[in-house]
Structure 1
Amino acid sequence: MECKPTGGVLSPILLILWLLTGAGCLHAIASIICLIRYAGQTDDRPIAYPAVTILKPLHGDEPMLFENLSSVVEQDYPGRITVVFGVGDRTDPAIQTVERLRRAYPERDLRLVIDPRRHGRNGKVSNLINMSRDIDGEIVVLADSDMRVEADYLSRVVGALQQAGVGAVTCLYRGVSLPNLWSRLATGWVDGQFLPNVVLGLSLGLAKPCMGSTIALRRDTLTEIGGFMSFKDHLADDYEIGVAVRRLGLKVAVPAQPVLGHMSAATSLRALLRQELRWNRTIRTVNFGGFVGSVVTHVLPFGILAVLADGLHWRSIALLCLVIGLRMALLFQVKRFVQKDTVELSLFVVRDLLSFAVFLGSFLPGSIDWRGHRLRVRPDGLLTAPDSTGP
């Protein structure tokens, strides 16, 4: 692709590519600044240690599941902790992992709910509804099974929840990869795009996230928003819980710490694309304007296209070098922010090109694949069967 300037004037295509690349450079600089500032937040420690019930909905034998769940059990929180695990099938292999946990931590209050009843189309929420009968703490914490936490996780979350005006707490997360290429690429998306975009959006007041990594709220607040039953048909159930909490006039806090570890379990390109298309379509559904605006985050593909459109001219090559430098600087800042030496740097070019392809693909019509079920998402965020067009 070559778009030569005519009469000293840049072609429209090249001009658009330059503008998008320039906007992407500004976005990268802003993200670096926001990461530095966000990391400077003060930490809120609890003024009391009320009883906590942690809900862990499970489905299948995920990679490193025992280690992820063990990190939740091994908390230094001095208050009473009950951990409730839930599955919807008596043959689910995750049950064996829970029994292994019970043997490893006999002194802990670890409960297992096996209940096949289905409520709505969101399987995770259906599981949570069935698990709700075992909630007995003042504070409820629900978190996805692929999250790994540090021993002070619960104390930090409870401390943030006890601040004035806070109705719920959610947590940022970084990628943790398995030793395979696809898992490393999945980790690159979390670290290189998702995390800095969330921090930038929070810093500028443009994002109001509530993420499945952690949602902590008081039991009374959960009751006031209608319990989990209110979200049984929503794809973005975590986001909708945040919306419901804010409707009560309360804030959803997102502290700088803890930054949790998200286990990226992709083992093939197909699995990676399936997962990321679901994530992208979820974000597009809950915040279409913001999702479209995130096109500027794909600065490297636009920089490469600008070089090709400019006939390998030195000016576009210089701009591409700036883009690469800024992307590297952003990844190094993410590495400092998460305080872990695990941020994927070597694959960022391939990762950025793949992310752009997934971004474009998310606008195509189609269903999503969620734990083996094919579902469609209505414009209001509700899930329906692939052949359903009604309400």
Structure 2
Amino acid sequence: MAYCYSKWKLHGTVDRSPPEQPYPGVSILKPLTGVDPNLFSNLETFFTLDYPTYELLFCVENEHDPAVMLVNSLIHKHPHIEARLFVGGQRVGVNPKINNMQPAYLAAKYPLILISDAGIRMRDDTLLDMVQHMTEEVAIVHQMPFVCDAEGFASVYEKVYFGTAQARMYLSADFLGINCHVGMSSMVRRCALEEAGGLRAFADYLAEDYFIAKDIVSRGWKMRVSSLPALQNSGTRSVGALQARLRRWARLRIAMIPTTAMLEPLSECMPLGAGAAWAAGQLFGAEPLPFFLVHVLVWFLSDWLMLRSVQNGSPPFTKVQFLLGWVWSECCAPFVLAAALLSPEISWRTRTYRLEWGGRAHELNPKLKF
């Protein structure tokens, strides 16, 4: 189902012809903390977007953050682009991302708000594609998470995960109308967000993206996935860093929707295959091992097709590298979920949080900021 939907949904042609009515302006919020080797080139792609009216609002917690100098150099390099830097944030809850963005959000002057994480790289037609999906009944347009090409096993693992397991879940949820909103690159109507209380109304949740979408959709608005995936392009990749992200996301899902999270193992190749092989042996007398191996082979081939669809072509590595990355990803998945179940705390950059059922968070040993 996800594969068929991806062939229809992803990588559509962006219409660059002049519209009958002018496109609405977009305020792009870019929360930043620290720098990495790819940050300058990532941010510069936002200065070269093929879109008539937009502003860039960069948000930094601390005036001594090295991102300040980098942003100022880009603003100086592209004086024709309307861009501002907001330093210091405003504490409105425990979520540091919302605290960082709050002053920029209040100063945003356009009816569409795009929240874009620091590690996102944009094609020049991405903003146009997202706006074209923002029809009258739609209030949120978000990009499916994916990654840029890079070298090394960590990059293979990252691309395999986001192009197979994550893509299956994301596209299936969108097809079935289930809230799958991930806020790393998400556009929202400001009027709809204001109806929900603005950004500050979600500042006590770490998964603010999920709760923003839940609230806005409950008010009768619709949500759409754009045709171009979000291209994450972190300058520092490692297996451990990706698994830490996956554990954090799993803990958030467990706290927000525990009944659904408990069914997650049934969406993974190895646990599902083992259960299905045992059931086939009990019910039909089938040999469990051959059944399991055929199940794994079919799943592997399906994931190869899924990755090619999300990549919109051949991935930048060999089939042997894909096999190694796929086996590692699938074998690690149950252990990542188990680790998330065993620890109720979430580490996010330099902060640690404890989650309550329902998704609200409390910072442990908070540092006085803002």
Between stretches 336-345 and 271-280, larger displacement belongs to 336-345
**CA–CA distance in structure 2, aligned partners of residues 208 and 42 of structure 1:** 25
Q: How many residues get paired?
A: 353
- Rate the CA distance shift 1:116–1:156 in 2: closer, same or farther, 3 A: closer
Task: Identify the residue that residue 41 of structure 2 maps to in structure 1.
Answer: 67
Counterpart code for 1:75:
L
Q: 2:224 aligns with which of 253, 256, 261?
A: 253
Between stretches 346-355 and 313-322, larger displacement belongs to 313-322
Q: Is 1:196 aligned with 2:174?
A: no
Task: Identify the residue that residue 256 of structure 2 maps to in structure 1.
Answer: 286
- Rate the CA distance shift 1:267–1:43 in 2: closer, same or farther, 3 A: closer
- Rate the CA distance shift 1:340–1:55 in 2: closer, same or farther, 3 A: farther
**CA–CA distance in structure 1, aligned partners of residues 105 and 3 of structure 2:** 41
Q: 2:179 aligns with which of 169, 192, 208?
A: 208
Between stretches 352-361 and 110-119, larger displacement belongs to 110-119
Deviations 1:131-166 (A, max 9, x none): 2233011221111111122111111111111x1311
Q: 1:355 aligns with which of 325, 329, 333?
A: 333
Deviations 1:211-231 (A, max 9, x none): 213221222222222111101
Superposed CA RMSD in Å reads 2.9
Q: Aligned runs of 1:13-162 on 2, under 5 Å?
A: 30-39=1-10, 47-78=21-52, 80-161=53-134
**CA–CA distance in structure 2, aligned partners of residues 351 and 56 of structure 1:** 30
Task: Identify the residue that residue 289 of structure 2 maps to in structure 1.
Answer: 316
Contact 1:35 1:196 in 2 (8 A): no
Counterpart code for 1:324:
L
Contact 2:29 2:104 in 1 (8 A): yes
How far did 1:85 drift? 0.3
**CA–CA distance in structure 2, aligned partners of residues 266 and 356 of structure 1:** 25
Between stretches 324-333 and 263-272, larger displacement belongs to 263-272
**CA–CA distance in structure 2, aligned partners of residues 50 and 40 of structure 1:** 23
- Which secondary structure does the structure 2 equivalent of 1:323 belong to? helix
How far did 1:319 drift? 3.1
Task: Identify the residue that residue 326 of structure 1 maps to in structure 2.
Answer: 299
- Which secondary structure does the structure 1 equivalent of 2:164 belong to? helix
- Which secondary structure does the structure 1 equivalent of 2:110 belong to? coil
Deviations 1:248-274 (A, max 9, x none): 21111223x121212356644443332
Deviations 1:286-333 (A, max 9, x none): 33233222212221355479889x9xx965235313422322322323
Task: Identify the residue that residue 299 of structure 1 maps to in structure 2.
Answer: 269
How far did 1:109 drift? 1.1
Contact 1:86 1:127 in 2 (8 A): yes
- Rate the CA distance shift 1:177–1:297 in 2: closer, same or farther, 3 A: farther
**CA–CA distance in structure 2, aligned partners of residues 40 and 64 of structure 1:** 24
Counterpart code for 2:224:
A
- Which secondary structure does the structure 2 equivalent of 1:385 belong to? strand
**CA–CA distance in structure 1, aligned partners of residues 89 and 27 of structure 2:** 22
Segments of 5+ residues of structure 1 without an aligned counterpart are 1-29
Segments of 5+ residues of structure 2 without an aligned counterpart are none
Counterpart code for 2:167:
L
**CA–CA distance in structure 1, aligned partners of residues 236 and 246 of structure 2:** 10
Instruction: Name the larger-Rg structure.
Output: 1
**CA–CA distance in structure 1, aligned partners of residues 55 and 239 of structure 2:** 38
**CA–CA distance in structure 2, aligned partners of residues 215 and 228 of structure 1:** 13
Task: Identify the residue that residue 154 of structure 2 maps to in structure 1.
Answer: 182
How far did 1:170 drift? 1.3
Task: Identify the residue that residue 229 of structure 1 maps to in structure 2.
Answer: 200
- Between the aligned residues of both structures, percent identity stands at 24
Contact 1:178 1:265 in 2 (8 A): no
- Rate the CA distance shift 1:324–1:96 in 2: closer, same or farther, 3 A: farther
Contact 1:50 1:138 in 2 (8 A): yes
- Rate the CA distance shift 1:180–1:321 in 2: closer, same or farther, 3 A: same
**CA–CA distance in structure 2, aligned partners of residues 306 and 238 of structure 1:** 35
**CA–CA distance in structure 2, aligned partners of residues 234 and 159 of structure 1:** 30
Counterpart code for 1:364:
L
- Rate the CA distance shift 1:187–1:284 in 2: closer, same or farther, 3 A: farther
Counterpart code for 1:142:
I
Contact 2:89 2:102 in 1 (8 A): no
Q: Is 1:164 aligned with 2:136?
A: yes
Contact 1:306 1:316 in 2 (8 A): no
**CA–CA distance in structure 2, aligned partners of residues 193 and 343 of structure 1:** 18
Q: Aligned runs of 1:363-378 on 2, under 5 Å?
A: 363-378=341-356
Between stretches 114-123 and 352-361, larger displacement belongs to 114-123
Between stretches 326-335 and 53-62, larger displacement belongs to 326-335
Contact 1:186 1:264 in 2 (8 A): no
- Which secondary structure does the structure 2 equivalent of 1:73 belong to? coil
- Which secondary structure does the structure 2 equivalent of 1:174 belong to? strand
TM-score normalised according to structure 2 size:
0.85
